[in-house]
Structure 1
């Protein structure tokens, strides 16, 4: 089927490499190919290098994808493996998301140092997070909390927690599971109480438009229900011009060809939140997400996104 090694591009963090390895294992199984048929190439991204400022002020989601996409466009790699929640809603010309792997558990996990649950934290406790969504949701739940910037990969954040910098932090449960760290979780947050980021827990594969050889190799990995859910969530983001500068949560589920979606937009200080729910046929996923985004914007009213985006 193929004669040259297929080059898989990824970020260099332990989690990103675990996700690339999962994609490689699925490709090997789908085509009966040995591991040496694939080469994983770790590429440093701006998002990995910038650790001293929020992503919202440094450039947003594209900081985790720019260098990988440049390598894809130049032909240095054949496909890129990403965390779907890192993907901007608009891709560079010539690139497409060609497959979504089956989604892992989308919930956020609380890891507490001084309490096992957010509700049990003392008044004024400090929580570390780099996510505007998590920060806003925390403040919506507990306005008394002090939320501080917490950049770095999973292991870096856990070291900061252990050293006593903060009383707790929140991480994606899916990432902890992929790193065999599920046992450190103090409390799992329900998707109703603490809705996840659009795309959370889903690995996606980006390829060049028109690269039929790689497209055919990647195609068997696409999980239709996950792809529909992500089409809805990404359309919700797109309708709201979502980026790392806007606290937006969104989660779609597909069952028996039906899709249900819930989305939430918040002010960064957690003082105001608006939620929407939509459902329909999975085939209409993108339209459902876009309609939900329009409804959320209408609920929030003019000026909701002004002054802090």
Structure 2
């Protein structure tokens, strides 16, 4: 450890000598697994720091219907936000793909850490082990994401695509029970709860020509974000120690694009940033209509020291191509 890290560890150990660092998270198996990753990272900085996991049931997890009818992705975070603001928890763990782009973070809070990004690919789990290309017309495909629905409709408009909600394990149970012929899920989520052996097919994450099956990931895909009160300086410094700088760059570019597009929970928006082999920051963005029959796309590059400008440029390019019309139409 460096002297600064030693000092921080000592300060945190003193502060939490008679209390525990309270970590707020959703109640799903995936959320709990992600929280354990955060705890493991904290343990490396402050060995032996006492922690307490505070499981918080969110409105979105309780809601069985279309999330847009409940008010959008903010229902994945609002109960946890309230606990953070009120001081009932010290930090909050979120899947960044579930953090809305059209709702500002609660005043006095910010994301102090983004853990190293996982696998961004979407995958297929089919009941009989066949890939999407081999499933017959009319096959029933389950997905809760409008982004996936739009892209799948682009390639296979002959499928019957139906919403499926619930945790990963409950979705797989519905598949096994015969409610669906296949379901689409995030690969990293399956990996984090040791269910990746169920994967039938891994879909390419790079959009090519509109004819080759691909699934451009969601903004924030496979990223765990850790949020805290900005006034809590020792905790914010702790989060800085576990932050992955490359992931923070990529998330800043992606979420700047999402914010400028004012995407809501029904917006089929895809976006993915990465650092190229020659050291540039690359951001690819797409906006679809609901059935995937119309889309706009943009790809920009920029320096790694200004991810927000790259996100703004890609968003501006998408808006110039008509992204606002596509996004507005999905509100209906």
Question: Normalising by structure 2, what TM-score?
Answer: 0.89
Q: Deviations along 1:41-61, whole A, 9 cap, x unmatched?
A: 10000010001x211221111
CA distance in 2, matches of 1:301, 1:179: 36
Q: Which runs of 5+ in 1 are unaligned?
A: none
Q: Contact 2:113/2:227 (CA < 8 Å) preserved in 1?
A: yes
2:123 pairs, out of 94, 109, 113, with 109
2:262 pairs, out of 227, 241, 245, with 241
State which structure, 1 or 2, has the greater radius of gyration over its C-alpha atoms: 2
CA distance in 2, matches of 1:126, 1:181: 22
2:47 pairs, out of 17, 32, 35, with 32
Q: Contact 1:114/1:121 (CA < 8 Å) preserved in 2?
A: no
2:310 pairs, out of 277, 282, 288, with 288
Q: Contact 1:115/1:121 (CA < 8 Å) preserved in 2?
A: no
CA distance in 2, matches of 1:286, 1:146: 38
Who is 1:163 aligned against? 177
Q: Contact 1:110/1:168 (CA < 8 Å) preserved in 2?
A: yes
Q: Deviations along 1:117-168, whole A, 9 cap, x unmatched?
A: 1111101111011101011111011111111010000011000000010110
Q: Contact 2:261/2:324 (CA < 8 Å) preserved in 1?
A: no
Q: 1:84-99 alignment to 2 at 5 Å? A: 84-89=96-101, 90-99=104-113
Q: Contact 1:85/1:197 (CA < 8 Å) preserved in 2?
A: yes
Q: Figure out how many residues of one structure are paired with residues of the other and give that number.
A: 306
Question: Normalising by structure 1, what TM-score?
Answer: 0.96
Poorly superposed stretches of 4+, deviation over 4 Å: none
Q: 1:227-306 alignment to 2 at 5 Å? A: 227-255=248-276, 257-300=279-322, 303-306=325-328
Aligned-residue Cα RMSD (Å) equals 1.3
Q: Deviations along 1:253-275, whole A, 9 cap, x unmatched?
A: 02464211111110011111111
Q: Contact 1:232/1:288 (CA < 8 Å) preserved in 2?
A: yes
Q: Secondary structure at the match of 1:303?
A: helix
